[in-house]
Structure 1
Amino acid sequence: MRLDTALGLEDRRGPLAIIVKTVLYGGMVIVFTGPLVGLLVSAFGETLDPTGFSIVPDGFTLKNFFRAGEMGVYGYLLNSFVVVGFGLLLQMLVSVFAAYSLARKKFRGMTIVLLIMLATMMLPEEVIIIPLSVVLADVPPFHLDLIGSYAGMILPVGAWGFSILVMTEFMKEVPVELEEAAHIDGAGELRTFFTIILPLCRPALGVIGVFGFTMIWDQYLLPLIVATESSQWTLPIALRSLRADEESGIGVLLAASLLALLPSIIAFLIFQRQFMRGLTSGAIKG
Protein backbone atom coordinates (compact mmCIF):
# COMPACT_ATOMS: atom_id res chain seq x y z
CA MET A 1 0.00 0.00 0.00
CA ARG A 2 1.45 3.34 -1.05
CA LEU A 3 1.08 6.37 1.21
CA ASP A 4 1.11 9.77 -0.48
CA THR A 5 1.96 12.98 1.32
CA ALA A 6 -0.34 16.00 1.27
CA LEU A 7 2.13 17.80 -1.03
CA GLY A 8 2.38 14.87 -3.43
CA LEU A 9 6.12 14.54 -2.94
CA GLU A 10 6.13 10.74 -2.89
CA ASP A 11 5.75 10.66 -6.67
CA ARG A 12 8.69 13.01 -7.20
CA ARG A 13 12.10 11.56 -7.98
CA GLY A 14 15.48 12.97 -8.93
CA PRO A 15 18.04 15.36 -7.38
CA LEU A 16 15.70 18.38 -7.40
CA ALA A 17 12.97 16.47 -5.57
CA ILE A 18 15.49 15.28 -2.95
CA ILE A 19 16.66 18.87 -2.38
CA VAL A 20 13.07 20.14 -2.06
CA LYS A 21 12.18 17.36 0.39
CA THR A 22 15.31 18.02 2.46
CA VAL A 23 14.59 21.74 2.66
CA LEU A 24 10.91 21.26 3.53
CA TYR A 25 11.44 18.52 6.12
CA GLY A 26 14.46 20.30 7.60
CA GLY A 27 12.42 23.50 7.91
CA MET A 28 9.64 21.60 9.68
CA VAL A 29 12.12 20.08 12.13
CA ILE A 30 13.61 23.51 12.88
CA VAL A 31 10.21 25.14 13.38
CA PHE A 32 8.90 22.45 15.74
CA THR A 33 12.05 21.50 17.64
CA GLY A 34 14.02 24.75 17.54
CA PRO A 35 12.22 26.44 20.47
CA LEU A 36 12.48 23.27 22.58
CA VAL A 37 16.20 22.91 21.91
CA GLY A 38 16.71 26.61 22.60
CA LEU A 39 14.87 26.29 25.92
CA LEU A 40 16.93 23.24 26.91
CA VAL A 41 20.24 24.90 26.02
CA SER A 42 19.40 28.23 27.65
CA ALA A 43 18.16 26.64 30.88
CA PHE A 44 21.60 25.07 31.38
CA GLY A 45 23.55 27.98 29.92
CA GLU A 46 26.02 30.09 31.90
CA THR A 47 25.52 33.42 30.17
CA LEU A 48 22.04 34.51 29.18
CA ASP A 49 21.03 37.42 27.01
CA PRO A 50 17.44 38.44 27.81
CA THR A 51 17.11 39.94 24.32
CA GLY A 52 18.19 36.77 22.52
CA PHE A 53 17.40 33.08 22.37
CA SER A 54 20.16 30.79 21.13
CA ILE A 55 20.35 27.10 20.38
CA VAL A 56 24.14 27.14 20.54
CA PRO A 57 25.47 25.98 23.95
CA ASP A 58 27.51 28.57 25.84
CA GLY A 59 28.88 26.72 28.83
CA PHE A 60 27.03 24.44 31.21
CA THR A 61 25.76 25.17 34.70
CA LEU A 62 23.06 24.13 37.15
CA LYS A 63 22.95 27.46 38.95
CA ASN A 64 19.67 28.38 37.27
CA PHE A 65 18.02 25.33 38.83
CA PHE A 66 19.62 25.98 42.22
CA ARG A 67 18.39 29.55 42.02
CA ALA A 68 14.95 28.27 41.03
CA GLY A 69 14.92 26.15 44.18
CA GLU A 70 15.70 29.22 46.25
CA MET A 71 12.76 30.98 44.62
CA GLY A 72 10.42 28.13 45.65
CA VAL A 73 9.92 26.70 42.15
CA TYR A 74 10.17 23.09 43.33
CA GLY A 75 7.41 23.67 45.84
CA TYR A 76 5.19 24.99 43.05
CA LEU A 77 6.16 21.96 40.98
CA LEU A 78 5.10 19.66 43.81
CA ASN A 79 1.76 21.47 44.05
CA SER A 80 1.23 20.91 40.33
CA PHE A 81 2.01 17.19 40.68
CA VAL A 82 -0.48 16.85 43.55
CA VAL A 83 -3.23 18.58 41.59
CA VAL A 84 -2.59 16.75 38.32
CA GLY A 85 -2.12 13.37 40.02
CA PHE A 86 -5.37 13.32 41.97
CA GLY A 87 -7.21 15.36 39.34
CA LEU A 88 -6.31 13.02 36.49
CA LEU A 89 -7.14 9.93 38.55
CA LEU A 90 -10.55 11.37 39.44
CA GLN A 91 -11.16 12.51 35.87
CA MET A 92 -10.40 9.09 34.39
CA LEU A 93 -12.59 7.33 36.97
CA VAL A 94 -15.50 9.66 36.26
CA SER A 95 -14.97 9.34 32.51
CA VAL A 96 -14.99 5.53 32.37
CA PHE A 97 -18.07 5.12 34.58
CA ALA A 98 -19.98 7.95 32.92
CA ALA A 99 -19.06 6.61 29.48
CA TYR A 100 -20.23 3.11 30.42
CA SER A 101 -23.59 4.51 31.50
CA LEU A 102 -23.98 6.50 28.29
CA ALA A 103 -22.78 3.68 26.03
CA ARG A 104 -24.63 0.75 27.59
CA LYS A 105 -27.55 2.13 29.59
CA LYS A 106 -30.72 3.63 28.19
CA PHE A 107 -32.40 6.29 30.30
CA ARG A 108 -34.53 9.37 29.86
CA GLY A 109 -32.70 12.57 29.21
CA MET A 110 -29.56 10.90 27.84
CA THR A 111 -29.54 13.23 24.85
CA ILE A 112 -29.86 16.22 27.14
CA VAL A 113 -26.90 15.00 29.18
CA LEU A 114 -24.78 14.73 26.04
CA LEU A 115 -25.84 18.22 24.92
CA ILE A 116 -24.90 19.65 28.32
CA MET A 117 -21.45 18.05 28.11
CA LEU A 118 -20.95 19.46 24.63
CA ALA A 119 -22.04 22.88 25.86
CA THR A 120 -19.45 22.83 28.65
CA MET A 121 -16.73 22.13 26.07
CA MET A 122 -17.79 25.12 24.00
CA LEU A 123 -17.73 27.63 26.85
CA PRO A 124 -14.44 29.48 27.38
CA GLU A 125 -12.86 29.04 30.79
CA GLU A 126 -13.03 32.80 31.38
CA VAL A 127 -16.84 32.71 31.15
CA ILE A 128 -17.38 30.18 33.93
CA ILE A 129 -14.52 31.13 36.23
CA ILE A 130 -16.49 33.69 38.26
CA PRO A 131 -19.55 31.44 38.85
CA LEU A 132 -17.13 28.62 39.66
CA SER A 133 -15.37 30.73 42.27
CA VAL A 134 -18.73 31.50 43.90
CA VAL A 135 -19.64 27.80 44.00
CA LEU A 136 -16.25 26.79 45.41
CA ALA A 137 -16.62 29.35 48.18
CA ASP A 138 -19.90 27.74 49.28
CA VAL A 139 -20.31 24.25 47.80
CA PRO A 140 -23.95 23.14 47.98
CA PRO A 141 -25.54 21.38 49.76
CA PHE A 142 -22.78 21.01 52.35
CA HIS A 143 -21.78 24.71 52.40
CA LEU A 144 -18.09 23.86 52.23
CA ASP A 145 -15.51 26.50 51.47
CA LEU A 146 -12.89 24.98 49.15
CA ILE A 147 -11.04 28.20 48.47
CA GLY A 148 -7.45 27.85 49.63
CA SER A 149 -7.40 24.03 49.44
CA TYR A 150 -6.17 21.38 47.03
CA ALA A 151 -9.73 20.06 46.75
CA GLY A 152 -10.78 23.36 45.20
CA MET A 153 -8.25 22.81 42.39
CA ILE A 154 -8.95 19.08 41.95
CA LEU A 155 -12.73 18.67 42.04
CA PRO A 156 -13.56 21.08 39.16
CA VAL A 157 -11.28 19.14 36.78
CA GLY A 158 -12.65 15.77 37.93
CA ALA A 159 -15.18 15.71 35.08
CA TRP A 160 -14.31 16.76 31.53
CA GLY A 161 -16.75 16.46 28.65
CA PHE A 162 -14.03 15.62 26.13
CA SER A 163 -12.81 12.57 28.06
CA ILE A 164 -16.35 11.31 28.65
CA LEU A 165 -17.30 11.64 24.98
CA VAL A 166 -14.11 9.89 23.79
CA MET A 167 -14.68 6.98 26.16
CA THR A 168 -18.39 6.82 25.28
CA GLU A 169 -17.76 6.54 21.54
CA PHE A 170 -15.04 3.94 22.11
CA MET A 171 -17.18 1.80 24.44
CA LYS A 172 -20.01 1.81 21.91
CA GLU A 173 -17.69 -0.09 19.56
CA VAL A 174 -17.09 -2.89 22.08
CA PRO A 175 -19.26 -5.85 20.97
CA VAL A 176 -22.20 -6.46 23.28
CA GLU A 177 -21.79 -10.20 22.66
CA LEU A 178 -18.67 -10.18 24.84
CA GLU A 179 -20.68 -8.92 27.80
CA GLU A 180 -23.46 -11.39 27.15
CA ALA A 181 -20.95 -14.26 27.07
CA ALA A 182 -19.45 -13.07 30.37
CA HIS A 183 -22.91 -12.89 31.96
CA ILE A 184 -23.66 -16.43 30.79
CA ASP A 185 -20.44 -17.57 32.49
CA GLY A 186 -21.69 -16.03 35.73
CA ALA A 187 -19.73 -12.77 35.76
CA GLY A 188 -21.46 -9.80 37.35
CA GLU A 189 -21.71 -6.37 35.79
CA LEU A 190 -18.75 -4.88 37.67
CA ARG A 191 -16.54 -7.86 36.94
CA THR A 192 -17.50 -7.70 33.28
CA PHE A 193 -16.71 -4.01 33.21
CA PHE A 194 -13.26 -4.36 34.78
CA THR A 195 -12.16 -7.60 33.08
CA ILE A 196 -13.71 -7.28 29.62
CA ILE A 197 -14.68 -3.73 28.68
CA LEU A 198 -11.98 -1.68 30.39
CA PRO A 199 -9.01 -3.70 29.02
CA LEU A 200 -10.41 -3.27 25.50
CA CYS A 201 -10.55 0.50 26.05
CA ARG A 202 -6.83 0.93 26.79
CA PRO A 203 -6.25 2.97 23.59
CA ALA A 204 -9.00 5.40 24.63
CA LEU A 205 -7.55 5.55 28.14
CA GLY A 206 -4.23 6.57 26.60
CA VAL A 207 -5.91 9.37 24.66
CA ILE A 208 -7.82 10.81 27.61
CA GLY A 209 -4.76 10.31 29.82
CA VAL A 210 -2.54 12.48 27.61
CA PHE A 211 -5.13 15.16 26.95
CA GLY A 212 -6.36 15.14 30.54
CA PHE A 213 -2.85 15.48 31.94
CA THR A 214 -2.12 18.41 29.64
CA MET A 215 -5.43 20.10 30.42
CA ILE A 216 -4.96 19.90 34.19
CA TRP A 217 -1.24 20.69 34.10
CA ASP A 218 -1.83 23.88 32.11
CA GLN A 219 -4.61 25.17 34.37
CA TYR A 220 -4.02 28.81 35.24
CA LEU A 221 -7.26 30.58 36.16
CA LEU A 222 -8.55 27.83 38.47
CA PRO A 223 -5.48 27.69 40.76
CA LEU A 224 -5.33 31.47 40.59
CA ILE A 225 -8.78 31.93 42.13
CA VAL A 226 -8.42 29.02 44.59
CA ALA A 227 -4.95 29.73 45.98
CA THR A 228 -5.01 32.25 48.79
CA GLU A 229 -1.27 32.12 49.52
CA SER A 230 1.78 31.97 47.29
CA SER A 231 2.74 28.63 48.82
CA GLN A 232 -0.38 27.13 47.19
CA TRP A 233 0.54 28.25 43.67
CA THR A 234 0.99 25.76 40.90
CA LEU A 235 3.82 26.06 38.37
CA PRO A 236 1.87 28.00 35.67
CA ILE A 237 1.07 30.76 38.19
CA ALA A 238 4.66 30.74 39.41
CA LEU A 239 5.91 31.24 35.84
CA ARG A 240 3.82 34.39 35.54
CA SER A 241 5.18 35.64 38.85
CA LEU A 242 8.79 34.88 37.86
CA ARG A 243 8.32 36.69 34.58
CA ALA A 244 7.24 39.84 36.42
CA ASP A 245 10.02 39.52 39.02
CA GLU A 246 13.12 41.33 37.76
CA GLU A 247 15.30 39.92 40.58
CA SER A 248 14.76 36.29 39.54
CA GLY A 249 16.44 36.73 36.17
CA ILE A 250 15.84 35.10 32.80
CA GLY A 251 17.81 31.98 33.79
CA VAL A 252 15.43 31.05 36.58
CA LEU A 253 12.44 31.65 34.29
CA LEU A 254 13.88 29.36 31.61
CA ALA A 255 14.73 26.67 34.16
CA ALA A 256 11.19 26.82 35.55
CA SER A 257 9.79 26.71 32.01
CA LEU A 258 11.80 23.56 31.30
CA LEU A 259 10.48 21.96 34.49
CA ALA A 260 6.95 22.86 33.42
CA LEU A 261 7.49 21.31 29.99
CA LEU A 262 9.11 18.00 30.93
CA PRO A 263 6.11 16.37 32.73
CA SER A 264 3.91 16.77 29.65
CA ILE A 265 6.56 15.10 27.49
CA ILE A 266 7.01 12.29 30.02
CA ALA A 267 3.23 11.77 30.22
CA PHE A 268 3.05 11.47 26.43
CA LEU A 269 5.91 8.96 26.40
CA ILE A 270 4.18 6.87 29.08
CA PHE A 271 0.85 6.79 27.24
CA GLN A 272 2.39 6.89 23.75
CA ARG A 273 1.51 3.38 22.62
CA GLN A 274 -2.09 3.57 23.85
CA PHE A 275 -2.39 7.15 22.58
CA MET A 276 -1.35 6.25 19.03
CA ARG A 277 -3.52 3.13 19.04
CA GLY A 278 -6.46 5.24 20.20
CA LEU A 279 -6.00 7.78 17.43
CA THR A 280 -5.55 5.03 14.84
CA SER A 281 -8.64 3.19 16.05
CA GLY A 282 -10.68 6.39 15.86
CA ALA A 283 -9.46 7.07 12.33
CA ILE A 284 -10.29 3.54 11.17
CA LYS A 285 -13.75 3.60 12.76
CA GLY A 286 -14.44 7.03 11.28
Structure 2
Amino acid sequence: MRTLVSPARLRTPRGKTVYWTVFSLVLLGFTAAFLFPLYWAVTGAMKSAPELARAPSPIVPEVWHPESYAQAWQEMDLARYFLNTVVVAGGAWLFQLAVDVPAAYALSKLRPVLGNAIMGLMLATLMLPASALLVPTYLTIVDVPLVHANLINSPAAIWLPAAANAFNIYLLKRFFDQIPGELLEAATIDGAGPVRILVRIVLPISRPVLAVVSIFAIVGAWKDFIWPLLVFPDPGAQTLSVALQRMEPDMPLNLVLAGLVLAGLPMVGIFLVFQRQILAGLTAGSVKG
Protein backbone atom coordinates (compact mmCIF):
# COMPACT_ATOMS: atom_id res chain seq x y z
CA MET A 1 0.00 0.00 0.00
CA ARG A 2 1.44 3.36 -1.05
CA THR A 3 1.74 6.02 1.68
CA LEU A 4 3.60 9.33 1.91
CA VAL A 5 6.83 7.35 2.16
CA SER A 6 7.26 4.13 0.20
CA PRO A 7 8.03 0.88 2.11
CA ALA A 8 11.25 0.53 0.13
CA ARG A 9 12.52 3.88 1.35
CA LEU A 10 11.52 3.07 4.93
CA ARG A 11 13.73 -0.03 4.78
CA THR A 12 16.81 2.02 4.00
CA PRO A 13 19.06 3.16 6.90
CA ARG A 14 18.23 6.81 6.24
CA GLY A 15 14.52 6.07 5.99
CA LYS A 16 14.54 4.18 9.30
CA THR A 17 16.45 7.00 10.99
CA VAL A 18 14.06 9.69 9.74
CA TYR A 19 11.00 7.60 10.57
CA TRP A 20 12.01 6.81 14.15
CA THR A 21 13.21 10.37 14.73
CA VAL A 22 9.90 11.87 13.62
CA PHE A 23 7.92 9.21 15.47
CA SER A 24 9.86 9.80 18.71
CA LEU A 25 9.51 13.58 18.50
CA VAL A 26 5.75 13.37 17.89
CA LEU A 27 5.33 10.86 20.72
CA LEU A 28 7.35 12.99 23.14
CA GLY A 29 5.42 16.11 22.10
CA PHE A 30 2.01 14.55 22.72
CA THR A 31 3.21 12.99 25.98
CA ALA A 32 4.51 16.35 27.22
CA ALA A 33 1.27 18.09 26.21
CA PHE A 34 -0.78 15.63 28.29
CA LEU A 35 1.55 15.23 31.28
CA PHE A 36 2.80 18.80 31.78
CA PRO A 37 -0.51 20.15 33.18
CA LEU A 38 -0.56 17.24 35.64
CA TYR A 39 3.04 17.94 36.63
CA TRP A 40 2.24 21.62 37.04
CA ALA A 41 -0.70 20.88 39.34
CA VAL A 42 1.17 18.34 41.47
CA THR A 43 4.30 20.48 41.90
CA GLY A 44 2.36 23.75 42.10
CA ALA A 45 0.60 22.49 45.20
CA MET A 46 4.04 21.98 46.80
CA LYS A 47 5.10 25.60 46.21
CA SER A 48 4.46 28.41 48.64
CA ALA A 49 1.55 30.70 47.79
CA PRO A 50 3.80 33.72 46.91
CA GLU A 51 6.03 31.54 44.72
CA LEU A 52 3.01 30.11 42.91
CA ALA A 53 1.56 33.59 42.34
CA ARG A 54 4.83 34.90 40.91
CA ALA A 55 4.86 35.61 37.17
CA PRO A 56 6.41 33.57 35.74
CA SER A 57 6.27 30.87 38.38
CA PRO A 58 9.31 28.54 38.39
CA ILE A 59 8.77 25.12 36.86
CA VAL A 60 10.53 23.41 39.77
CA PRO A 61 9.65 24.59 43.30
CA GLU A 62 12.46 26.48 44.99
CA VAL A 63 11.35 25.08 48.35
CA TRP A 64 9.23 21.95 48.45
CA HIS A 65 6.15 21.95 50.69
CA PRO A 66 4.60 18.45 50.50
CA GLU A 67 2.71 19.20 53.69
CA SER A 68 0.36 21.34 51.58
CA TYR A 69 -1.66 18.22 50.77
CA ALA A 70 -2.25 17.34 54.42
CA GLN A 71 -3.01 20.97 55.18
CA ALA A 72 -5.55 21.15 52.35
CA TRP A 73 -7.19 17.92 53.51
CA GLN A 74 -7.68 19.28 57.03
CA GLU A 75 -8.46 22.94 56.40
CA MET A 76 -10.86 22.28 53.51
CA ASP A 77 -12.55 19.33 55.26
CA LEU A 78 -12.10 17.23 52.11
CA ALA A 79 -13.09 13.99 53.84
CA ARG A 80 -16.73 15.15 54.03
CA TYR A 81 -16.83 16.20 50.38
CA PHE A 82 -15.11 13.01 49.28
CA LEU A 83 -17.87 11.06 51.03
CA ASN A 84 -20.57 13.19 49.40
CA THR A 85 -19.00 12.64 45.98
CA VAL A 86 -18.66 8.89 46.51
CA VAL A 87 -22.36 8.67 47.44
CA VAL A 88 -23.37 10.72 44.39
CA ALA A 89 -21.11 8.83 41.95
CA GLY A 90 -21.96 5.41 43.36
CA GLY A 91 -25.69 6.05 43.21
CA ALA A 92 -25.47 7.44 39.67
CA TRP A 93 -23.57 4.30 38.63
CA LEU A 94 -26.15 1.94 40.15
CA PHE A 95 -29.11 3.84 38.68
CA GLN A 96 -27.53 3.91 35.22
CA LEU A 97 -26.87 0.19 35.23
CA ALA A 98 -30.37 -0.52 36.56
CA VAL A 99 -31.99 1.50 33.74
CA ASP A 100 -29.59 1.33 30.80
CA VAL A 101 -28.84 -2.41 30.79
CA PRO A 102 -32.50 -3.59 30.67
CA ALA A 103 -33.34 -0.85 28.15
CA ALA A 104 -30.50 -1.86 25.83
CA TYR A 105 -31.33 -5.55 26.22
CA ALA A 106 -34.99 -4.94 25.38
CA LEU A 107 -34.14 -2.86 22.31
CA SER A 108 -31.57 -5.40 21.11
CA LYS A 109 -33.13 -8.80 21.82
CA LEU A 110 -36.81 -8.34 22.70
CA ARG A 111 -37.36 -6.01 19.73
CA PRO A 112 -40.42 -4.05 20.92
CA VAL A 113 -42.79 -2.26 18.54
CA LEU A 114 -41.25 1.02 17.34
CA GLY A 115 -37.95 0.02 18.95
CA ASN A 116 -35.89 1.69 16.22
CA ALA A 117 -37.90 4.89 16.57
CA ILE A 118 -37.37 4.88 20.33
CA MET A 119 -33.63 4.37 19.85
CA GLY A 120 -33.56 7.20 17.33
CA LEU A 121 -35.32 9.56 19.74
CA MET A 122 -32.85 8.62 22.48
CA LEU A 123 -29.89 9.36 20.23
CA ALA A 124 -31.50 12.65 19.18
CA THR A 125 -31.14 13.85 22.77
CA LEU A 126 -27.36 13.68 22.32
CA MET A 127 -27.65 16.48 19.76
CA LEU A 128 -28.97 18.89 22.39
CA PRO A 129 -26.44 20.93 24.38
CA ALA A 130 -26.43 20.07 28.07
CA SER A 131 -27.12 23.69 28.99
CA ALA A 132 -30.45 23.57 27.10
CA LEU A 133 -31.70 20.86 29.46
CA LEU A 134 -30.71 22.55 32.73
CA VAL A 135 -33.88 24.60 33.23
CA PRO A 136 -36.48 21.88 32.46
CA THR A 137 -34.52 19.31 34.47
CA TYR A 138 -34.21 21.70 37.41
CA LEU A 139 -37.95 22.45 37.36
CA THR A 140 -38.62 18.70 37.36
CA ILE A 141 -36.33 18.14 40.34
CA VAL A 142 -37.88 20.97 42.33
CA ASP A 143 -41.36 19.48 41.86
CA VAL A 144 -41.18 15.85 40.75
CA PRO A 145 -44.31 14.96 38.74
CA LEU A 146 -46.94 12.77 40.42
CA VAL A 147 -45.17 12.58 43.80
CA HIS A 148 -44.59 16.38 44.07
CA ALA A 149 -41.32 15.91 45.95
CA ASN A 150 -38.51 18.47 46.15
CA LEU A 151 -35.12 16.77 45.63
CA ILE A 152 -32.92 19.83 46.18
CA ASN A 153 -29.93 18.93 48.42
CA SER A 154 -30.70 15.23 47.91
CA PRO A 155 -28.38 12.82 46.03
CA ALA A 156 -31.47 11.66 44.13
CA ALA A 157 -31.30 14.98 42.25
CA ILE A 158 -28.16 13.59 40.60
CA TRP A 159 -29.16 9.92 40.42
CA LEU A 160 -32.50 10.24 38.65
CA PRO A 161 -31.51 12.56 35.77
CA ALA A 162 -28.38 10.45 35.18
CA ALA A 163 -30.28 7.14 35.07
CA ALA A 164 -31.28 7.18 31.39
CA ASN A 165 -28.10 7.80 29.40
CA ALA A 166 -28.64 7.56 25.64
CA PHE A 167 -24.98 7.02 24.80
CA ASN A 168 -24.61 4.16 27.29
CA ILE A 169 -27.81 2.54 26.04
CA TYR A 170 -26.52 2.74 22.47
CA LEU A 171 -23.13 1.32 23.50
CA LEU A 172 -24.75 -1.58 25.35
CA LYS A 173 -27.21 -2.26 22.54
CA ARG A 174 -24.42 -2.47 19.97
CA PHE A 175 -22.65 -5.02 22.15
CA PHE A 176 -25.82 -7.05 22.80
CA ASP A 177 -26.48 -7.12 19.04
CA GLN A 178 -23.29 -9.18 18.61
CA ILE A 179 -24.47 -11.94 20.95
CA PRO A 180 -25.54 -14.94 18.83
CA GLY A 181 -29.29 -15.41 18.76
CA GLU A 182 -28.82 -19.20 18.84
CA LEU A 183 -27.38 -18.90 22.33
CA LEU A 184 -30.47 -17.15 23.63
CA GLU A 185 -32.81 -19.45 21.72
CA ALA A 186 -31.19 -22.47 23.38
CA ALA A 187 -31.77 -20.91 26.78
CA THR A 188 -35.40 -20.19 25.86
CA ILE A 189 -35.92 -23.82 24.86
CA ASP A 190 -34.54 -24.85 28.26
CA GLY A 191 -37.28 -22.78 29.90
CA ALA A 192 -35.38 -19.58 30.74
CA GLY A 193 -37.35 -16.34 30.60
CA PRO A 194 -36.07 -12.94 29.40
CA VAL A 195 -34.95 -11.83 32.88
CA ARG A 196 -33.11 -15.07 33.59
CA ILE A 197 -31.42 -14.96 30.18
CA LEU A 198 -30.28 -11.40 30.90
CA VAL A 199 -28.90 -12.23 34.34
CA ARG A 200 -27.44 -15.68 33.71
CA ILE A 201 -26.20 -15.42 30.10
CA VAL A 202 -26.03 -11.88 28.75
CA LEU A 203 -24.46 -10.07 31.70
CA PRO A 204 -21.60 -12.55 32.33
CA ILE A 205 -20.37 -12.26 28.73
CA SER A 206 -20.88 -8.47 28.71
CA ARG A 207 -18.33 -7.64 31.40
CA PRO A 208 -16.04 -5.59 29.11
CA VAL A 209 -18.78 -3.21 27.95
CA LEU A 210 -20.25 -3.07 31.47
CA ALA A 211 -16.83 -1.95 32.72
CA VAL A 212 -16.76 0.84 30.12
CA VAL A 213 -20.27 2.00 30.97
CA SER A 214 -19.42 1.90 34.68
CA ILE A 215 -16.33 4.04 34.16
CA PHE A 216 -18.29 6.56 32.09
CA ALA A 217 -21.00 6.75 34.75
CA ILE A 218 -18.63 7.17 37.69
CA VAL A 219 -16.31 9.65 36.02
CA GLY A 220 -19.21 11.68 34.65
CA ALA A 221 -20.81 12.02 38.08
CA TRP A 222 -17.47 12.60 39.83
CA LYS A 223 -16.33 15.52 37.66
CA ASP A 224 -19.71 17.14 37.00
CA PHE A 225 -19.90 20.72 38.20
CA ILE A 226 -22.81 22.75 36.79
CA TRP A 227 -25.64 20.41 37.81
CA PRO A 228 -24.37 19.73 41.38
CA LEU A 229 -23.87 23.49 41.75
CA LEU A 230 -27.58 24.01 41.05
CA VAL A 231 -29.05 21.20 43.14
CA PHE A 232 -26.72 21.40 46.18
CA PRO A 233 -27.04 24.93 47.62
CA ASP A 234 -26.35 23.52 51.10
CA PRO A 235 -22.54 23.51 51.62
CA GLY A 236 -22.75 20.35 53.71
CA ALA A 237 -24.24 18.36 50.81
CA GLN A 238 -21.93 19.59 48.06
CA THR A 239 -19.58 17.46 46.00
CA LEU A 240 -15.85 18.02 45.64
CA SER A 241 -16.03 20.05 42.42
CA VAL A 242 -18.56 22.48 43.87
CA ALA A 243 -16.94 22.72 47.32
CA LEU A 244 -13.50 23.47 45.89
CA GLN A 245 -14.92 26.24 43.73
CA ARG A 246 -16.80 27.71 46.69
CA MET A 247 -13.73 27.74 48.95
CA GLU A 248 -11.29 28.96 46.30
CA PRO A 249 -11.57 32.73 47.08
CA ASP A 250 -10.78 32.16 50.77
CA MET A 251 -7.90 29.68 50.38
CA PRO A 252 -4.27 30.08 49.30
CA LEU A 253 -3.75 29.04 45.70
CA ASN A 254 -1.37 26.21 46.58
CA LEU A 255 -3.99 24.62 48.86
CA VAL A 256 -6.61 24.91 46.13
CA LEU A 257 -4.26 23.11 43.74
CA ALA A 258 -3.61 20.44 46.37
CA GLY A 259 -7.36 19.92 46.76
CA LEU A 260 -7.78 19.60 42.99
CA VAL A 261 -5.00 17.01 42.80
CA LEU A 262 -6.50 15.00 45.65
CA ALA A 263 -9.93 15.18 44.02
CA GLY A 264 -8.54 13.75 40.77
CA LEU A 265 -6.51 10.90 42.28
CA PRO A 266 -9.42 8.41 42.60
CA MET A 267 -10.30 8.70 38.91
CA VAL A 268 -6.68 8.26 37.86
CA GLY A 269 -6.43 5.22 40.14
CA ILE A 270 -9.60 3.69 38.68
CA PHE A 271 -8.24 4.04 35.16
CA LEU A 272 -4.86 2.55 36.04
CA VAL A 273 -6.49 -0.42 37.77
CA PHE A 274 -9.16 -1.10 35.15
CA GLN A 275 -7.44 0.11 31.97
CA ARG A 276 -7.37 -3.39 30.49
CA GLN A 277 -11.13 -3.82 30.93
CA ILE A 278 -11.77 -0.31 29.59
CA LEU A 279 -9.76 -0.89 26.42
CA ALA A 280 -11.30 -4.33 25.95
CA GLY A 281 -14.80 -2.89 26.22
CA LEU A 282 -14.08 -0.04 23.79
CA THR A 283 -12.70 -2.46 21.17
CA ALA A 284 -15.24 -5.25 21.72
CA GLY A 285 -17.01 -5.85 18.43
CA SER A 286 -17.91 -9.52 18.46
CA VAL A 287 -18.66 -12.41 20.75
CA LYS A 288 -17.46 -15.91 20.06
CA GLY A 289 -20.24 -18.44 19.69
The answer to whether the superposition gives a TM-score over 0.5 is yes
| Identity within the alignment, % | 33
Farther-moved stretch of structure 1 (254-263 vs 106-115) = 106-115
Please tell me whether residue 258 in structure 1 is matched to residue 257 in structure 2. Answer: no
Matches within 5 A, 1:127-276: 127-243=132-248, 245=249, 247-276=250-279
Question: For 1:167-222, what per-residue CA distance to the aligned partner results, in whole angstroms no more than 9, with x for missing partners?
Answer: 01110110111112223334333222112111111121122122222221122121
Cα distance in structure 2, aligned partners of 1:179 and 1:215: 33
Relative CO higher for 1 or 2, CA cutoff 8 Å, sep ≥ 6?
A: 2
1:209 and 1:271 in contact (8 A); partners too: no
Farther-moved stretch of structure 1 (148-157 vs 35-44) = 35-44
Partner of 2:10: 11
Amino acid at match of 1:267: I
Cα distance in structure 1, aligned partners of 2:235 and 2:56: 30
> Structure 1 residues 120, 52: CA separation in 2 closer, same or farther (over 3 Å shift)?
farther
Cα distance in structure 1, aligned partners of 2:117 and 2:4: 39
1:38 and 1:54 in contact (8 A); partners too: no
2:45 and 2:68 in contact (8 A); partners too: no
> Structure 1 residues 218, 193: CA separation in 2 closer, same or farther (over 3 Å shift)?
same
SS at match of 2:113: coil
Cα distance in structure 1, aligned partners of 2:37 and 2:175: 35
Cα distance in structure 2, aligned partners of 1:5 and 1:203: 35
Partner of 2:95: 90
SS at match of 1:141: coil
Aligned-residue CA RMSD (Å)? 2.8
1:42 and 1:54 in contact (8 A); partners too: no
Question: For 1:217-274, what per-residue CA distance to the aligned partner results, in whole angstroms no more than 9, with x for missing partners?
Answer: 122121111112111111111232233x1x3011111111112221221222343222
> Structure 1 residues 8, 258: CA separation in 2 closer, same or farther (over 3 Å shift)?
farther
Farther-moved stretch of structure 1 (62-71 vs 72-81) = 62-71
Query: In the alignment, which of 273, 277, 282 is matched to residue 279 of structure 1?
Result: 282
> Structure 1 residues 120, 28: CA separation in 2 closer, same or farther (over 3 Å shift)?
same
1:206 and 1:272 in contact (8 A); partners too: no
Amino acid at match of 1:239: L
Amino acid at match of 1:280: T
Cα distance in structure 1, aligned partners of 2:243 and 2:209: 32
Query: In the alignment, which of 34, 55, 60 is matched to residue 56 of structure 1?
Result: 60
Unpaired stretches in structure 1, ≥5 consecutive residues: none
Partner of 1:29: 31
Cα distance in structure 2, aligned partners of 1:5 and 1:76: 53
Cα distance in structure 2, aligned partners of 1:205 and 1:134: 32
Farther-moved stretch of structure 1 (68-77 vs 121-130) = 68-77
Farther-moved stretch of structure 1 (35-44 vs 16-25) = 16-25
Farther-moved stretch of structure 1 (101-110 vs 134-143) = 101-110
1:38 and 1:53 in contact (8 A); partners too: no
Farther-moved stretch of structure 1 (40-49 vs 147-156) = 40-49
Shift of 1:99: 0.5
Shift of 1:7: 9.1
Shift of 1:137: 0.9
2:178 and 2:286 in contact (8 A); partners too: no
Farther-moved stretch of structure 1 (263-272 vs 42-51) = 42-51
Cα distance in structure 1, aligned partners of 2:274 and 2:43: 27
Instruction: Give the total of aligned pairs.
Output: 280
Shift of 1:60: 4.0
Unpaired stretches in structure 2, ≥5 consecutive residues: none
Shift of 1:23: 2.2
> Structure 1 residues 5, 107: CA separation in 2 closer, same or farther (over 3 Å shift)?
same
Amino acid at match of 1:11: L
2:72 and 2:258 in contact (8 A); partners too: no
Shift of 1:68: 3.9
Partner of 2:107: 102
